[in-house]
């Protein structure tokens, strides 16, 4: 018979990389060019169906605020998360460094077995690209060397919240990686 599973998901990353925009694209299929910076955190839910395993998944999504002053709140949200999206903006090397910091923190503090996705947003701004696939690949190789093969499980995808390209793929990939009993 049909099964139902519910998972907690958290978005982390520097302010303005587009965390809220990704969530709004996924949950409401809308995009706002003038989105306001998140205060504290926002909570949204969305369900997806996985017909091949006859399962519906409900994502309980915590969209955290990237501004530095909210940094100390993050552990409250990732502490009991099943999956974390560490988001950077492909036009900002600094935001990619920040996403790596989040992965480091998750490795140390997050629950064992948390599904981690490294997400490069604003893929529509190819002309301003600062973070190349090669940069990401060499980072993922270093990560693998540090923590063993399990780092190979880090999902890496690019998307554009603006065009919508790649957004569903991220949540589908996370769903595939989650433990369904
Ligand atoms: P905080 O809430 O401060 O942590 O920021 P955030 O990561 O939630 O960023 P937000 O979604 O508010 O987006 C910041 C700005 O980037 C907004 O003006 C968005 O319109 C813009 N933006 C978000 N995603 C994209 C994208 O895929 N492409 C382009 N071109 N702009 C984007
Ligand atoms: Mg936000």
Is the pLDDT confidence value at 16 over 80? yes
Tell me whether strands 41-50 and 55-64 are parallel, antiparallel or unpaired: antiparallel
The mean pLDDT of 74-102, rounded to a whole number, is 97
pLDDT-derived band at 181 (thresholds 50, 70, 90) equals confident
Whether residue 173 has its Cβ less than 6 Å from ligand 1: no
Q: 18, 22, 127, 166: which to mutate for ligand 1, most atoms within 8 A of CB?
A: 18
Is the pLDDT confidence value at 152 over 70? no
pLDDT of 149 reads 63
Q: What is the ipTM of this complex?
A: 0.99
The mean pLDDT of 89-101, rounded to a whole number, is 98
Residue that wins the pLDDT comparison between 31 and 147? 31
pTM confidence score: 0.97
């Amino acid at each position: 018979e049909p099964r139902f599973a519910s998972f907690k998901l958290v978005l982390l990353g520097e302010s303005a990389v587009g965390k809220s925009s990704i969530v709004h694209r996924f949950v409401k299929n809308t995009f706002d060019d003038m989105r306001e910076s998140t205060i504290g955190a926002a909570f949204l839910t969305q369900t997806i169906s996985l017909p091949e395993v006859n399962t519906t998944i409900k994502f309980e999504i915590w969209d955290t605020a990237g501004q530095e002053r909210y940094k100390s709140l993050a552990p409250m949200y990732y502490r009991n998360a099943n999956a974390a999206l560490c988001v950077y903006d492909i036009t900002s090397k600094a935001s990619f460094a920040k996403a790596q910091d989040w992965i480091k923190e998750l490795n140390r503090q997050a629950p064992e077995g948390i599904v981690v996705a490294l997400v490069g947003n604003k893929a529509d701004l190819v002309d301003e690209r600062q973070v190349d696939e090669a940069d990401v690949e060499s980072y993922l190789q270093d990560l693998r060397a540090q923590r063993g093969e399990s780092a190979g499980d880090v999902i890496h995808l690019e998307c554009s919240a603006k065009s919508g390209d790649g957004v569903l793929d991220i949540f589908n990939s996370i769903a595939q990686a989650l433990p369904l009993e």
